[in-house]
Amino acid sequence: MQRAVKALFLILIGVLLGAIVQPSSVGAEPLYLLDDPDPFFHAPEDIGNYKPGDVVRVRRIDTWMYAGTEGWHVAFRSTNSAGNPIMGMTTVFMPVGITNPPLVSYQAIINSLGVKCNPSRSLFNAELNDAPGMYLPIGRGWAVSIPDHLGPTGAYGAARLGGLVTLDSVRAVKQVTELGLSNAPVVLAGYSGGGMASAWAAALQPSYAPELKLDGVVAGGIPADLEEMARGLGFAPHPGFGLAFAAAMGLEREYPDRLPITSQLNDQGMFLRAFMANECRRFLIFHGLFRSAGDVAGRTDLITSPAALAVLHENSLKYFPDIPKVPMMIWHGLYDGLTPFDAVADTARRYCAAGANLVFSPYDISEHMTCAALGFPAAWEYVEARFRGEPAPTQC
């Protein structure tokens, strides 16, 4: 799994960066995911008239897989990376028989591009790896909200977007009268891509949602420096190339004018683009096995594009100057070959120097997903303590 995910930004070097330097072909546009057949997921024409976090519509859903819960879909207004209004979606599990539960916003790992891969669907169709983990917070009697934090276009790789959608999902859930969570304490949680969305939400909250009270954030395995991740990769065929190619497609969806990747694809690249545009993690990995950037584009050596590197920096927590005001716990593997430890450690040191309330827990381990399993027990205890109202510790 570590190899599979490690290649996420191979395509950003070989194709994405090349797309910035080479001239764009006329009419080359991103390939977006298919329209959802369910009209509940369609944004109203007047979505721009809603404020960020406003509820658009709500419905009950069947949560047969998650015993002891009642389920809801909540559609809400959010904002994309360009500052434009979009509609977001979150799935809420409410514990049966518990009055006034606290709320965990859990940002899942979504290594995917299609409609069926979003938590609003993948919580129930076996496409979401995090799904079994939902039983842990549910079992503690907490309400759990799981947003589709890649946004309505499936913008895989767009980290800042994930933070914006996460904050607006919490705003919306607290407004839904049927849920009764307006005064509930709130903690954000996630690992890897979900940790990235949670950590970005913490950093963006003082400027984007200053009225929103958060009681804590736990985030592990954070990809904090996308440029460093990209520069650490080579160009040989790779077992995880499918996820790399998907990340390029996702970022092009979010930055179509700045990252015209499609204009640089050859015939094989265009085929692969169409073949993968609506698929999820397992499909992407299998059909990308041992392909390379050279297979899908003509150039793989253009790493110096300022425009492309600027997008990577804009989605790297290491370079975002704002300091979270919410108590945080961050954990990370010392030798994580996927998400470099030094970038997270540098970010943690900057937070601590600015007076942030942070517990930073390094783990002497190299495998990315093993660190998730090791860190979550302590993370859930940290969450429990915040819900009890205990003072948050600092351990820098």
Alpha carbon distance 307, 11 (integer Å): 16
Predicted local confidence at residue 281, as pLDDT: 86
Average pLDDT, the chain: 88
* pLDDT given for residue 301 in this prediction: 41
- End-to-end C-alpha distance for the chain, whole angstroms: 30
Q: Tens digit of pLDDT for each residue in 12-46?
A: 444 444 433 343 343 467 878 778 889 999 999 99
Residue-range definition of the domain harbouring residue 319: 1-396
pTM above 0.75, yes or no: yes
Q: What percent of the chain has pLDDT over 70?
A: 89
Flag whether pLDDT at 253 surpasses 50: yes
pLDDT band at 1; cut points 50, 70, 90? very low
Q: Average pLDDT in the 155-161 region?
A: 95
83 pLDDT more than 80: yes
Q: For residues 17 and 127, which has the higher predicted lDDT (pLDDT)?
A: 127
What digits encode the pLDDT tens for the residues 266-318? 889 899 999 999 999 889 988 888 887 778 875 544 355 678 888 889 999 99
pLDDT for 338 = 78
Q: Which H or E element spans position 188?
A: strand 186-191
Q: How many domains does the chain have?
A: 1
Per-residue HEC secondary structure of 262-289 comes to HHHECHHHHHHHHHHCCCCHHHHHHHCC
Beta-carbon count within 10 A of 67 CB = 10
* Per-residue pLDDT at 232: 57
Q: Which two tokens stand for residue 138?
A: 């549910």
Model confidence pLDDT, tens digit, residues 189-234: 999 999 999 999 999 999 999 999 999 999 999 999 988 876 655 5
How confident is the model over 106-113, as a mean pLDDT? 94
Highest average pLDDT, of 86-95, 302-311, 332-341, comes from: 86-95
CATH number of the domain that residue 246 is part of: 3.40.50.1820
